[in-house]
Amino acid sequence: MALHRPTYQQNQYKEISDHLTRASNGVDGLKSNLEFSGGQCVISADKQQTATWWVNLTSILSIHHVTIYFRTENISWEGPSNGHVSRALGFSLYVSNTTNKSEGHLCFKDKVYTLSTIPAVFNTSCPVHGQYVIYYNERLPGVSYPSSYSQYAFNDLCELEVYGCPRSGYYGNNCSVPCPDPQCNYCDLDTGTCRGGCNPGYKGHRCELECVDGFYGDGCRNTCGRCTDMTQCHHVTGTCLEGCKPGYMGNDCMQACSTGYYGENCSMSCGYCLKDETCHFVNGSCLSGCKIGYHPPFCAQECYNNTYGAGCTETCGQCRDSKPCHHINGSCVNGCMPGFKKTQCVEECDMGYYGIGCLQECSSFCKTSRDCHHVTGYCKDGCKSGWQGNDCLEVYKPIDSSNNQQSSFYSVLGLFCVSLLLNGVLIAYIIIQRKSRNKPAKEYQPESPAREMHVGQDGKSEFDSVNEGYQELGELGKSSTTYETLQ
């Protein structure tokens, strides 16, 4: 399985042509000429403390055994007569999924071979699974080695052959039988028993179980990232299927938001943090505070509520038309309210001035000259003698007391006359009402009883004489001069 696969050598011998010493000579399939000049061997540099060579199988495969052909210079290998034997003593053989031998499996470590016992063609069983087969030897300073060992470490290999199954998931003759456990990583090449562990994302004796929530990958040893829902972390790849928690990004939600961004999907940009420091990648707060003029803790919004400056702790002055001041320096863009001055409008007008822009002068006729209110211009302690008004700009006019007395007299007299008139009307009305009630009513005269009529000598009857008397009395009552006079 190693034939013509990619190779690497730590320290190549380069004092002659490259094709005679390069790392790929170890997997070219040629092993008929095992001497330096044959161009079929790997030759490492002299005087090195470590020697490393590896072949990349290009994928993780099931390995059965490994065979190594050492460089013999085509002379007798056994015994101390061949100076290259001592270079092979103490070597190690690893199988790993990476180029780091410490992360792999140690197939063989020479601790027993001598100059007389180490074979020129070495063969060892290594029923493991891996992608890299690594040959390693060392002669470290301060370490005591057997006297038969060479002084320095070398890669004197002419061929390294790896035998096994060229594709995963199969075993048996010609690797044609599928492994019985479908999620088994690798099975035994002879029996089919699961030996290489489970495929990523699975566990159990027969690899029949998926990783529990929050874990994924090879052996279910990997922890999922900051997924929104851990049950949605893919058991094989670790991908967060429903996205990340705020502050994280990437398919697996392992990566914090990039500098200057935070929140869900890292879609929110940072505010104005002090000294341009990075905000918290989850909530966006500036850990060291905000630049001047921005509101904590996110520092993305300018100062508001009539504030400005560092931490928005300063209060704006008396800006004109109640407009907000500048969020950084507190200046009033449209000027000040009447009675205040300078750019921040926190200082009252100087003594003697008031109003818009502090351009109006207080009256010199204030009791204390030009000492007026900075907004209205009203004199604080009243006016000097001879002046009046809030701003002491009106000439004082004293009130005439004689005119006041005369005016008061006529007012009282007028009220008295009106009172007499009303009382007279009221008295007349009362008299008329009383006389109307006391006037005698016309007396009812009942009809005289029937009597005999006597006619006198003048031809008048007695009845006529009586009626005539009544008539005169009635006329007298109707036209009496005396009555009219009384009326």
d(CA 396, CA 377) in angstroms, rounded, equals 19
The reply to whether omega before 446 is within 30° of 0 (cis) is no
Return the pLDDT at 218: 87
Per-domain boundaries in the chain: 7-166, 361-396
Return the pLDDT at 444: 42
Q: What is the pTM of this model?
A: 0.48
Tokens of 228: 């929104």
d(CA 357, CA 341) in angstroms, rounded, equals 6
Tens-digit pLDDT string for the chain (487 aa) = 999 999 999 999 999 999 999 999 999 999 999 999 999 999 999 999 999 999 999 998 889 999 999 999 999 997 788 999 999 999 999 999 999 999 999 999 999 999 999 999 999 999 888 999 999 999 999 999 999 999 999 999 999 999 998 877 788 878 888 888 888 877 888 888 887 678 899 988 778 899 999 999 988 999 999 999 999 999 999 999 999 998 899 999 999 888 778 888 888 778 688 776 777 777 777 877 888 988 888 887 899 889 999 889 999 999 998 888 999 999 998 899 999 999 999 999 999 999 999 999 999 999 999 999 999 999 999 999 999 999 999 998 876 555 555 656 666 676 777 778 887 778 877 787 777 666 554 444 444 444 444 444 444 444 444 344 434 433 333 433 333 333 3
Cα–Cα distance list, 364 to 191, 370, 403 (Å): 118, 5, 33
**Tokens 């290594």, located at residue:** 126
d(CA 81, CA 145) in angstroms, rounded, equals 20
Return the pLDDT at 448: 42
Return the pLDDT at 456: 47
Question: Cβ(64)–Cβ(94) under 8 Å?
Answer: no
Question: Which burial class, exposed, middle or buried, applies to 179 when counting CB atoms under 10 A from its CB (0-12, 13-18, 19+)?
Answer: buried
Cα within 13 Å of Cα(61), Cβ side: 20
d(CA 425, CA 161) in angstroms, rounded, equals 150
**Beta-bridge mates of residue 130:** 61
Tokens of 345: 């409008």
Return the pLDDT at 412: 63
Return the pLDDT at 440: 55
Return the pLDDT at 179: 83
Return the pLDDT at 487: 37
Write the CATH number of the domain with boundaries 7-166.
2.60.120.260
Cα–Cα distance list, 223 to 210, 304, 456 (Å): 14, 45, 164
